[in-house]
Amino acid sequence: MATVAGGAAIGVLAGSRLAERFRVTLISGIALITFGVGLSSFLETDNAVFPVVSIVLGGLIGEGLRLEQRLEGVGERLRRRFAAGQEGSTFVEGFVTMSLTACVGALTVLGSLADGIRGDNRLLVVKASLDGVVAVVYAASFGWGVAFAALTVGVLQGGITVLGAVLGGGLLTDRMVAELSATGGVMIFGIGLRLLDLRPVPVASYLPGLVIAPVLVALFAR
């Protein structure tokens, strides 16, 4: 949470000194890296059926729950409360994009579980460092909405950490982690498309797929 908020503050202050072409170049670079991370994660799958089914079922559930719209609504309420002077679309896009970037992926789940189960926060330290760097770049273009994604990070990662502490070890097998990572990789690729304004992929609607993937492995994998 601290690195996201701190990185966003640096990005906002530095962003005012950067010409638009520099901000576009930085965001485009992050988008290309995002594509690479997403593809790398997807290639961890042992059977593409698992991420495909997880994305399809997750998307149906997410749309039924209107997760994308709810996340955008949270961003808009935060903007009206704390940053009424900033353009609405920019604030909400920064909040949603940073929230998804920071919370989608196996590192979020594995790092939080390791912290809750074993008290090992090394993965979260690595992830926090990466999130801080990304927050600097995003905030240079999107503004203060990026900083409020720290709340999303706190709720999700904190919740998973508590779950790990309560349930203990043995929650996820290596195969479950691989298919969860592959499913998250597809979502990460969607974030890249959003960053380049190629397509407004409703990434938040697919988030239930991160739960469905390990469940499918438990039911059908041998």
| Residue 148 burial (C-beta neighbours within 10 Å; 0-12, 13-18, 19+) | buried
What is the mean pLDDT of the segment spanning 66-94?
Answer: 81
Do 160 and 76 contact (CB within 8 A), yes or no?
no
41 pLDDT more than 80: yes
Instruction: Give the tens place of pLDDT for each residue, 51-74.
Output: 999 999 999 999 999 988 988 888
Do 58 and 210 contact (CB within 8 A), yes or no?
yes
Q: Is the pTM of this model over 0.85?
A: no
| Contact partners, residue 213, CB within 8 Å, separation at least 6 | 50, 51, 54, 176, 179, 180, 182, 183
CA distance 218 to 222: 8
User: Which segment of 45-59, 104-118, 144-158, 200-214 scores lowest on mean pLDDT?
Assistant: 104-118
List phi, psi (to 5°) of 90: -70, -45
Q: Which residue has the tokens 């801080």?
A: 132
What is the mean pLDDT of the segment spanning 126-146?
Answer: 88
Polymer length of the chain: 222
| Contact partners, residue 36, CB within 8 Å, separation at least 6 | none
What are the sequence ranges of the domains in the chain? 2-217
